[in-house]
């Protein structure tokens, strides 16, 4: 890995979080959730406050969503929806369509917050499930001297929580290209458990949650992927966020720490063990409010598809 040409993320300086007053494990919709293993409310609160402090210390601005009783997973803001803050366009919010009824009540609160905070709310057409930034993360490769940087590409996961049919709708709605990857391991039920963009060159990738096609897609998209070991993936290392050159992680192995430092990153570990009982890490607890998804780089215009038709006889 090298630092050359590694452009820091253009986003990740402003986050939405939700305090865990009403956080608990009240139902089981992923392999981590066990209603008999409830999180400790006080410890959850202190972990959350530490996370917010770490983000702010790293230079991020943090906004707050009001917790709601009866919606314990509202703390996992990443699943609220997709945020598009592309320059030159309106700030847009695409609310999620949760697969599980247990979480569907969150959407109204998410949408209300965004509407009150100056976002245009764009509903996703169709009725396919889609779980927001938890299942779609933008990656924008750094350009090289000979060609301009391409626009961001959404790496989107499907099968566990989101439908691949929703990816096409997202792409159309936001005007952003999507790479759909199948999530093949139920432990990694959202794409943010297997993929974390770090800058224009690097991303954390947990191949354990992808199949060979997904790994190839990531290899084609990310110039220098940082592949996670089994234990790193299992401890939610990919469920991290990046503020400039600071990687805020729920855990980090010495091996991974050395790799990240070598690539020019500073690692800030902030444990979120109580939230991992519900299957969420740092990324799940935050929603970046400054993601530019619908960029329109020059030279990428025109809408003429090329058609190949094979004769039926």
User: Comparing C-alpha atoms, which of 205, 199, 206 is closest to residue 264?
Assistant: 199
Is 121 within 8 Å of 113 (Cβ atoms)? no
User: Comparing C-alpha atoms, which of 265, 195, 266 is closest to residue 3?
Assistant: 265
User: Comparing C-alpha atoms, which of 234, 240, 233 is closest to residue 269?
Assistant: 240
Least CB distance to other proteins at residue 212 (A): 9
Residues 210-269 that bind other proteins (CB under 8 A): 211, 213-214, 216-217, 220
Could you say which of 10, 26, 168, 267 contacts other proteins (CB under 8 A)? 168
Total residues binding other proteins (CB under 8 A): 38
Q: Is residue 185 within the footprint of other proteins (CB under 8 A)?
A: no
Q: Judged by CB, which is closer to other proteins: 128, or 274?
A: 128
Q: Is residue 302 within the footprint of other proteins (CB under 8 A)?
A: yes
Q: Judged by CB, which is closer to other proteins: 83, or 217?
A: 217
Alpha carbons 153 and 156: distance in angstroms, whole number = 9
User: Comparing C-alpha atoms, which of 100, 101, 96, 33 is closest to residue 275?
Assistant: 33
Q: Judged by CB, which is closer to other proteins: 109, or 179?
A: 179
Q: Judged by CB, which is closer to other proteins: 110, or 128?
A: 128
Q: Is residue 153 within the footprint of other proteins (CB under 8 A)?
A: yes
Q: Say whether 115 sits in a helix, a strand or coil.
A: helix
The stretch among 29-37, 62-70, 76-84, 296-304 that binds other proteins (CB under 8 A) is 296-304
From its phi and psi, is residue 59 left (phi > 0), alpha (psi between -120 and 50) or beta?
Answer: left
Q: Is residue 172 within the footprint of other proteins (CB under 8 A)?
A: yes
Is 238 within 8 Å of 204 (Cβ atoms)? yes
Residues within the interface to other proteins (CB under 8 A): 150-151, 153, 158-159, 163-165, 167-168, 171-172, 175-182, 211, 213-214, 216-217, 220, 300-310, 312
């Amino acid at each position: 890995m090298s630092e050359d040409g590694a452009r820091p993320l253009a986003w990740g300086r402003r986050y939405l979080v939700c305090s865990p007053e009403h956080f608990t494990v009240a139902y089981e919709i992923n392999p981590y959730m066990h209603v008999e293993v409830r999180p400790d409310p006080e410890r959850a609160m202190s972990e959350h406050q530490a996370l917010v402090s770490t983000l702010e210390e790293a230079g991020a601005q943090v906004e707050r969503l009001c917790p709601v009783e009866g919606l314990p997973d509202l703390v996992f803001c990443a699943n609220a929806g997709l945020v598009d803050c592309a320059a030159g366009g309106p700030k847009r919010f695409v609310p999620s369509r949760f697969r599980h009824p247990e979480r569907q009540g969150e959407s109204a609160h998410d949408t209300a917050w965004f509407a009150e905070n100056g976002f245009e709310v764009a509903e996703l057409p169709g009725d396919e499930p889609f779980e927001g930034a938890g299942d779609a993360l933008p990656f924008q490769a750094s350009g090289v001297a000979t060609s301009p940087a391409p626009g961001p590409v959404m790496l989107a996961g499907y099968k566990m929580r989101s439908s691949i049919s929703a990816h096409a709708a997202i792409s159309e709605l936001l005007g952003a290209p999507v790479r759909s990857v199948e999530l093949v391991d139920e432990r990694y039920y959202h794409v943010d458990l297997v993929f974390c963009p770090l800058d224009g060159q690097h991303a954390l990738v947990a191949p354990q949650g992808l199949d060979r096609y997904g790994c190839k897609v990531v290899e084609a998209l990310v110039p220098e992927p940082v592949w996670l070991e089994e234990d790193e993936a299992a401890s939610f290392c990919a469920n991290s966020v990046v503020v400039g050159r600071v990687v805020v992680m729920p855990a980090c192995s010495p091996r991974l720490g050395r790799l990240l430092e070598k690539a020019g990153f500073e690692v800030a570990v902030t444990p979120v063990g109580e939230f991992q009982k519900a299957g969420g890490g740092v990324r799940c607890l935050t929603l970046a409010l400054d993601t530019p998804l619908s960029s329109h780089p020059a030279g990428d215009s025109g809408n003429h598809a090329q058609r190949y038709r094979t004769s039926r006889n």
